[in-house]
Amino acid sequence: MDIKFIQFQSHGDDRGSLVALEDHKNIPFTIKRVYYMFNTADKVRRGFHAHKKLKQLAVVLKGSCRFMLDDGKEKIELLLDNPEQGLFIESFVWREMFDFSDDCVLLVLADSFYDEGDYIRDYQEFTEMVSHDS
Ligand code: T46
């Protein structure tokens, strides 16, 4: 699986750090929606779905968490712990997030508005859909 991390430029000075995220500059799509997760309970695993169309970029603003990405052929686990780096998540990739640190703030930028109809929540259905694709 082709994992794309986007490295952001950090405008650091003696006051601290600042990262700017801009449509089609360092974010490879038009940002239609932003959401974030925080106060995630201990040992929680979230996600368990893929998207038909949605493309997203995940950035851990604080703390850390792990992603498991699965394209139906390969499963990869990744640690996100750097606010200067974004993980690009294509459509038709099953994702699970886990090992959230107590202080984790996970920001996600999305190229579409929230649409429950875009979710594939059944793993069997997901594997059938991606196997038909290849
Ligand atoms: C994804 C991963 C990384 C909304 O009302 N609007 C929204 O934009 C979102 C994202 C969620 N919701 C509601 C739907 C549920 O009642 O918030 C609740 C929790 O959402 P969900 O269970 O889908 O959260 P996760 O962590 O399983 O998945 C989320 C995104 O939904 C998903 O697109 O890729 O984060």
Structure tokens given for 92: 């038709």
Structure tokens given for 31: 């940002």
What pLDDT, in 10s, does the model give residues 77-132? Answer: 999 999 999 999 999 999 999 999 999 999 999 999 999 999 999 999 999 999 97
What pLDDT, in 10s, does the model give residues 21-49? Answer: 999 999 999 999 999 999 999 999 999 99
Residue 33 one-letter amino acid: R
Q: How far is the CA of 18 from the centre of ligand 1 (A)?
A: 27
Residue-wise DSSP of 25-42: TTBSS---EEEEE-SPPT
Closest C-alpha to ligand 1, atom 11 = 114
Closest CA to 3 of 111, 63, 75: 75
Closest C-alpha to ligand 1, atom 23 = 47
Q: How far is the CA of 38 from the centre of ligand 1 (A)?
A: 12
Cβ pair 31, 111 in contact under 8 A: yes
pTM of the model: 0.96
